[in-house]
A and B are shown apart, each in its own frame.
Chain A
Amino acid sequence: MDRELVFELPNDLRCIEEAVEFVVARCATCRAASAKLRFNFRVSLTEALANAMIYGNGRDPDKRVRVEIALAGHHLEARITDQGRGFDPTSLPDPTTPGNLLDPGGRGIFLMRKLMDDVRFNEQGNAVTLVLRLPAAAEMRREASA
């Protein structure tokens, strides 16, 4: 990997916005890449962190969420791991069917899958990897590798 960024977050939803901005700010992007990073990646990373804190860690303030960002050329990966028991990501209802449209929840993983180029879960279901293929060169700022 060309650049990596690894950190842990407390299980606190109020940390999410700042964490997302922290990651995005460390991706020096060209103009072509910026739109996908600015929107698709921000929304998807927010979803992954929220799922980890709410469902994975069950809102337990003593648990933490691990964030691993890796950027290699045009390939950006974000792996989010919680300390929960995991879940089955294949058994989720479609939030766009008429019967589910008025449901306030259930759109997080759906959005991640629509906005990212690939979304992979580990076997246990407590870690998700978001993959974004950037259309042009992008690289992590060197100072972020520390």
Chain B
Amino acid sequence: MAFKVNREGDVVVVDVDGQLIVGNRQELKQRVLDEVEEGERKFLVDFSRTGYIDSSGLGVLVSLSKKIREQGGELRLASLNEDLRTLFELTKLDTLFRISDTREEGLEGF
């Protein structure tokens, strides 16, 4: 897994390339937490280049979302393919996150 961090206005956009799984989730978590520490509050994770996510990857997103909300911010998700969306629906995590079909939709009104 590789990820890229960019800024679109005041939103930190994270592109996940590859798998977000137990062996690499800490990398993503630490990078986002570093941004939170620096005062960033709006995050969008773009999954358009993501193969699959396991329960550890889901867990990291849950834990980051909780942390960011505690700081008055929000973590949004975008560009999930059908399989990834199914994971969020099965686990009911689709009720926890704002999930947009595209990156542009996710950035709207942030």
Contacts and interface: CB of A to CB of B under 8 A. Distances in A.
B23 A14 contact: yes
Interface stretch (A85-93, A103-111, A121-129): A103-111
A141 interface: no
Interface string B2-20: 0000000000000000010
Contact of B23 (A17, A39, A104, A105): A17
Interface string A43-60: 100110010001000000
Nearest to B83: A39
Nearest to A103: B62
Contacts, number: 72
Interface of B: 19, 21-24, 51-56, 58-60, 62-63, 66, 83, 87, 90-93, 95-96
Contacts of A108: 54-56
A102 interface: yes
Nearest to A108: B55
Interface in A90-146: 95-96, 101-108, 110-111, 114-115
Given A13-B23, A107-B58, A43 B52 contact: yes
Contact of A50 (B56, B60, B96): B56
